Amino acid sequence: MADPNRTVVVTDGSNDASTVSGAATGVQSSPKGEKGAGTDPSKMDQQTLAAVLQFLKNNKLKDAEAALRREAKLPDGNGDSSGSSRVATSGEVSSVLSAYESEGDLARYCEYYNSLSSFIESSLDAHKHELGCLLYPVFIHMYLQLVYNRHEKEAHKFFNRFSVEQEDWHQEDLRTLSTVKTREQMEGNDLMDTFRSSKFVLRMSRDSYQSLRRYLKQNEHRELLSILQDHLFIDVFDGVPRNREQVQATSGAMMGEARRDANKVKVLYGLPKEPDINVPLDDDDEGAEGEDKPKKKKQKKDLLLNKNKKADPNAPPPSRIPLPELKDADKLEKVLSWKEGLKRVPLGRENLPSICFYTLANAYQNVSAVGVSEDSSLLAAGFEDSNVRVWSLSPQRLRTMRNASELDQLDKEADDIVERMMDEKTAADSWLLHGHTGPVYATSFSPDREQLLTSSEDGTVRLWSLHTYSNLVVYKGHNYPVWDVQFSPTGYYFVSGGHDRVARLWGTDQFQPIRMFVGHYSDVTCIQYHPNSNYVATGSSDRTVRLWDVLNGNCVRVMTGHKAAVHTLAWSPDGRYLASAGVDKNVLLWDIAYGRLLAEMKGHTDPIYSLCFSREGSILASGGIDNTVKIWDVQKVFEEIAGSDDLTSLDRASLVEVGSLLLGSFQTKATPVLKLHFSHRNLLLGCGRYQHS
């Protein structure tokens, strides 16, 4: 593949080799799917190795360093320690900082920026919008260069002049940026570090890229060129340039769009075959109803089981992730939920759901989290005064287990042993759980309803027993606030994510996380376990949604398009679609199979904090602090894409044009909607705290 474009930028480019390779990779990941050049990985490894060595050295870990050197077949470090340290520092810090060191005439930055923007303004309409994406990263890096080189006044002027021209959704980051006014402040600013250490990703059609190249050739702005090479990653694709809507749909994330190769891995989003369940199907129930009915029921049940047994080509093999074995109780649970499912009301355009709303009154301390158990029988609310309270939503009141001596006397062979274990005297409508030392930001029930997980500002995740209403385990790992925690649909595993930008996968019986999902540029704000337990979706305040493979911890999907922090996620029951929403008040619907944006649902007037698909996946409910529950017709979208499922159009994010999807909007009096949950029968439950104005 002789690519004439490849070298142009490089030859124009100024100096060092790293920029060459950077620009080269940018062009290389063209649609042919060719991976980076052979030299790149090895060079990267070298750098990483050097960095690790430096780290070991700095921390006086001599043995480890020596061992590493031996293994990597590097010369002994003692001789050229000064040299290697220089390499390492330049690799780590200086490469980033020195990139900002520029001899060029900084005062002319305004001019350069103007020239670039007028070029973009004057270019063909077809290219205009793709090229327009350049402005923001160029602006940021020019400003940072000015600040770094201690041209504070120019920087201030530059910022004031051009910051207003940037798109609305960048203003949040610009505000953060505007606080940075001196070189000293650049150190230790999270956003700064992100900008310095990562490349802003842009996607562009080949035509647009060509026109940019021509422009750069004509005007020899060295500074501009070096910014483009050092800090931008231009992902070129063959095809028609995208229009304004398409560009806007996927822009907005902190570090630009997702690279195309980031979403190439196949995701096994299907649901696995249901395991055979050989539990005697509720003899007592059927016995009571006579002889004729059970047969009919069994047939129905068989139908249901058959349907689930159908092998899904997209399903992961059942042994991909070791899952906890099903206990008898779990099997019984599954059967019961199927039974409930038989009574399900089909929902859709014509049949809107009934909504039962639970209002928390007298909560002087604010309610910061609400969780509902899978079978809708329990509700847990986390408060800002660090309490957690569990309510029963069913007539069954909450009881604790008897004490040990009493338990000892029980007949362990009895059929109703579980029932007997409970102390009827302790029955209460709600239980209060004390333990956290900061606001509780998430609660999640285990599928068997025996445990509850909570996460808090104090940096811990706590596991509570719902038999004794006491704290069982404190998981420490996140040192910063933990924003979300969720049990896997099979139990045992759970994921947590927080301010440290890492999502962690844990097993309930281990103190250490099993997997760490690292990659978000900012806080991990929300987490949803995929229904098949093989993947985890995370939303972040870097305005991206990522999908992680539990098996190997890789990030398999990066989805951009949100214009502000993502605060809630929901999986469709079939596992293929993901809905996300947050502070930008829009609900976005994603197709996980290709990592593309399907639809955008606008209508909320305040941040959205809860999403839920109906049990058969035909409608989506969203709720937020604008005190409304909105119902969306996602079935329409699914039908639309089922009709036009051609792979050619998949690369470009094209929203499915189906008009308004809003089916209904229901306002509460003064209660923000913090949690929505569909019961097995498709009754929508909502919950929030009454806020008298």
Partner 1 sequence: MSDRVLPDVTAESIKVIAESAGIGQLPDEAAAALAEDATYRLKQITQEAVKFMHHGKRRKLSTADFDNALKLKNVEPLYGFHAEEHIPFRFASGGGRELHFYEEKEVELGDIINAPLPRIPLDVNLKAHWLAIEGVQPSIPENPPPVPKEDQHAADRPPGVTAKPSGKDGTKPAGKPGKAEVKGLPSEVAGVKLKPVLTHELSVEQQLYYREITEACVGSCESRRAEALQSLATDPGLHQMIPRFSTFVCEGVRVNVVQSNLALLIYLMRMVKALMDNTTLHLEKYLHEVIPAVATCILSKQLCQRPDVDNHWALRDFAARLMGNMCRNFSSNINNIQSRMTKTYTKILHDEQSHLATRYGALAGLAEMGHDVVKSLLIPKLKEEGEKVKMLMEGPVHNSVDKTAAEHIRALLLKHCAPVLAKIRPGPDNQEQYKTDFGHLGPLLCAHVVKARQQQQQQQLQATTTTAAAASVVQRPTLQIPQKSDWGRASAVLSAMAAPRTPTPQPTTPSLLTISRPSTPANPPSTPTTPTPGTPNPQTKYIIVSTTKASTSTTLPSTSTISSSGLASSSSSAASTIVKFVSAAQGSASGGSEPRVLAQLPSGQKYVVVSVPSSGQTTTTSQGKTQAVVMVKSEGQGSQGQGSNTGITSAAGTLAQLATSSSQDSTKSSTGLQGGATPKPNS
Instruction: Kindly identify the residues of this chain, within the stretch 523-582, that bind partner 1 according to CB under 8 A.
Output: 523, 525, 541, 565, 567
412 burial type by CB count under 10 A (0-12 exposed, 13-18 middle, 19+ buried): exposed
The minimum distance between CB 36 and partner 1, in angstroms, equals 36
60: left (phi over 0), alpha (psi -120 to 50) or beta: left
From CA 84, how far away is CA 90, in angstroms rounded? 10
The minimum distance between CB 685 and partner 1, in angstroms, equals 9
| Strand blocks (E) in 150-281 | 200-205, 232-237
488 burial type by CB count under 10 A (0-12 exposed, 13-18 middle, 19+ buried): buried
* Alpha helices per DSSP H over 443-495: none
Counting contacts by CB under 8 A, is residue 306 touching partner 1? no
145-164 binders of partner 1 (CB under 8 A):
160, 164
Contact region for partner 1 (CB under 8 A) — 86-94, 174-182, 221-229, 292-300?
A: 174-182
In contact, 621 and 611? CB cutoff 8 Å: yes
Among 63, 350, 509, 657, which residue interacts with partner 1 (rule: CB under 8 A)? 350
The contact pattern for partner 1, residues 665-684, with x = CB under 8 A and - = no contact, is: xxxxxx-x-x---------x
Counting contacts by CB under 8 A, is residue 352 touching partner 1? yes
598-627 binders of partner 1 (CB under 8 A):
606-607, 609, 625
User: Hey, is 388 helix, strand or coil?
Assistant: strand
Identify the DSSP state of 167.
Answer: -
Among 323, 367, 466, 578, which residue interacts with partner 1 (rule: CB under 8 A)? 367
- The kind and range of the H/E element at 454 are strand 451-456
From CA 150, how far away is CA 183, in angstroms rounded? 7
Contact region for partner 1 (CB under 8 A) — 45-53, 101-109, 113-121, 347-355?
A: 347-355
Task: Using alpha carbons, list the distances in angstroms from residue 403 to 161, 423, 435.
Answer: 71, 9, 22
In one-letter notation, the amino acid at residue 588 is: L
Measured from the CB atom, the residue of 203 and 675 that comes closer to partner 1 is 675
Measured from the CB atom, the residue of 131 and 186 that comes closer to partner 1 is 186
The minimum distance between CB 485 and partner 1, in angstroms, equals 13
Measured from the CB atom, the residue of 120 and 685 that comes closer to partner 1 is 685
User: Hey, is 162 helix, strand or coil?
Assistant: helix
Contact region for partner 1 (CB under 8 A) — 109-117, 180-188, 282-290, 489-497?
A: 180-188
Measured from the CB atom, the residue of 189 and 210 that comes closer to partner 1 is 189
Counting contacts by CB under 8 A, is residue 193 touching partner 1? no
From CA 294, how far away is CA 564, in angstroms rounded? 53
Among 663, 677, 678, 682, which residue interacts with partner 1 (rule: CB under 8 A)? 663
462-521 binders of partner 1 (CB under 8 A):
480-481, 483, 499
The minimum distance between CB 174 and partner 1, in angstroms, equals 12
Residues in contact with partner 1, counted by CB under 8 A, come to a total of: 72
The minimum distance between CB 531 and partner 1, in angstroms, equals 25
The minimum distance between CB 580 and partner 1, in angstroms, equals 15
Among 363, 401, 407, 422, which residue interacts with partner 1 (rule: CB under 8 A)? 363
Contact region for partner 1 (CB under 8 A) — 113-121, 270-278, 349-357, 464-472?
A: 349-357
Among 87, 360, 502, 587, which residue interacts with partner 1 (rule: CB under 8 A)? 360
Among 137, 252, 272, 353, which residue interacts with partner 1 (rule: CB under 8 A)? 353
Contact region for partner 1 (CB under 8 A) — 14-22, 217-225, 248-256, 663-671?
A: 663-671
Measured from the CB atom, the residue of 611 and 674 that comes closer to partner 1 is 674
| Strand blocks (E) in 457-514 | 460-465, 470-476, 482-487, 493-498, 502-507
Identify the DSSP state of 415.
Answer: T
Contact region for partner 1 (CB under 8 A) — 1-9, 37-45, 315-323, 657-665?
A: 657-665
403-462 binders of partner 1 (CB under 8 A):
429-430, 438-439, 441, 457
Measured from the CB atom, the residue of 122 and 179 that comes closer to partner 1 is 179
Measured from the CB atom, the residue of 29 and 454 that comes closer to partner 1 is 454
From CA 227, how far away is CA 99, in angstroms rounded? 8
In contact, 410 and 417? CB cutoff 8 Å: yes
The minimum distance between CB 664 and partner 1, in angstroms, equals 4
What six digits make up the tokens of 616? 């058969």
Among 43, 57, 151, 181, which residue interacts with partner 1 (rule: CB under 8 A)? 181
The minimum distance between CB 380 and partner 1, in angstroms, equals 11
Pairing assessment for the beta strands 430-433 and 440-445 based on DSSP bridges: unpaired
From CA 141, how far away is CA 130, in angstroms rounded? 19
What six digits make up the tokens of 669? 């009096």
The minimum distance between CB 166 and partner 1, in angstroms, equals 14
- Which one, of 491, 485, 484, lies nearest residue 533 by Cα? 491
- The kind and range of the H/E element at 196 are helix 190-197
The minimum distance between CB 558 and partner 1, in angstroms, equals 22
In contact, 271 and 310? CB cutoff 8 Å: no
Which residues are within 8 A (CB) of 205 and not within 5 positions of it... i.e. 6 or more apart?
127, 130, 236, 237, 238, 239, 240, 241, 242
From CA 480, how far away is CA 522, in angstroms rounded? 13
369-408 binders of partner 1 (CB under 8 A):
379, 381, 383-384, 389, 391
- Which one, of 475, 555, 551, lies nearest residue 515 by Cα? 551
The minimum distance between CB 548 and partner 1, in angstroms, equals 21
Among 51, 166, 344, 357, which residue interacts with partner 1 (rule: CB under 8 A)? 357
